[in-house]
Chain A
Amino acid sequence: MNKALIIAKRELKSYFVSPVAYVIIGLFLLISGFMYYSILFSSRVAEIRGFLMNMCFVFMLMAPILSMRLLSEEKKLGTLEFLFTSPITVMDIVLGKYLGVILLYLITTAFFLQYPLYLVLFARPDLGPILTSVLGFVLNGAACLAIGLFASSLSENQLISAVVGMITLIFFWIIGWVGDLLPGGAGNFLASLSLIKPLENLSKGLIIASDLFYYAALIFFFLFITVKRLEWKRW
């Protein structure tokens, strides 16, 4: 775990050496600012529900761009071999990489917090849904980045990693619609995979144990297959 933190620290620093982090965070804030403004001024309701759903969708499209380099670049440069031959486990590497990008995401979230803050300052919003919305924003991002990290382990080409990550995420976003089309157990099962449902609940202020479990399971599953994927490559 200690070693994972060392990797996470390096990872976070390297984001700020290249323009990627600045560009992505900057663009994200630009889009979110515009969306916040237009949604709030057209609805004139002091809540961030609709805004949250839109922002999570936008971040879902951006997450693979943030995560694409995590393992692809290491593979391409050959530094993955350096990590693998250091006295650390594959799990340390994967956790470290994941924590690194999560820390970057939390920095983004810190900027994101300004929007609910305006509501608190200038209106009297219902605080409950706002707090759970922020939680939803964090959990949704964490899930997207776990999928992005796995996509990054598949190829040494960053572009391919980003595209695979995006397609996987869009799949998880729209899979809920199948629930309406396919009746019965299969439809229900597929619908339960959707990233939208738990986010909707959280945006309404509902904290449901199964939703939290959904996020935990999704993140765990993708980190787990990333570890397996990296181990498998060595045989």
Chain B
Amino acid sequence: MRAGISQSRTPINLLRWALFGFILAPLLAGCQAGSGRREIVAIPLFSTENLSSCEHVGMDEALAGKDLHLAWNGPPDGNAQRQIDLLNDAVSKHAYGIAINARSLYAANGVIREAISHQIPVVVLLHRLPLTPEEHLSFVLENTQTGAMLVARRLKQILPAGADVLLVGLDSLSAGGEDRFTAVEQALRQTDPAIHIANRIAGPPAISAFESAITDALAQQPGIRAIIALDSHAGYAAASVIHDTNAQGRIRILAFDQNTEVLASLRQGGVDSVVVQNMREIGHIAISNMIRDHNHQPVAAVTYVEPQLVTRDNIDTEAVQQILLMNWVQP
């Protein structure tokens, strides 16, 4: 004969689970609030441009095999307020880290400081901001001097002595605007003092405004032989004007920063050369900085990444194509 003991199902079980629920509910709510802790928020300047795609590739590569998720989103139109909204969201969900290519020199700095105060690693990309590197804040920047020198040497190579050039692009309130203006002017003085900057057009990245200004400048100063476009929108506007006025060959365009249209125009001969930023490398370093920060390893306060001058002669080389890689792998 065999006998056994069974467990009873008393109302106490109900009480027990109800009590568990009561105690665990706030804890679960806390877990929900902390769901951003494995998420890296990347806020590009223009979410859809080649410049940003390359950055995305570099970040994806750095995140391969790691238990981290990349939340990638930015304003299509370089809206500084939208960048601030995305930054605020990242801070409120306590992201693992934030990488931002800021539109405005000043607008996002308050939120960046707030993120740092919450121990969220922030990496500022491409253009410096008026913030001092500190714990949880690092910079991965273009080497502006190198880029400017590449342009100056190219101009000396392709222009006749004493030619007039037009400088078009970022305004002084855009991140990187003042730096590029200054660096290009200095590089031109050093490389070929005879080159004359006939006009400077600065403004926010509105293509049509650039087009109008360039058209007016070219009409007023027909001696202009080259346009130095300090950002991709200015580059597109310059290429558009040169295309519309059939001025290819007569007026050379040297543009900073890659986008698909400018590169297409380069292939067609509308643009002479492009200072391509190695955003793939910049994105990779940004992620590495965040991970090192979380692992309490030393992080370089400022890392400079060298740009490269791309012309029709070298655009199809493997080295350039690897920099311009727009998707890491086939999905």
Partners in one complex: no
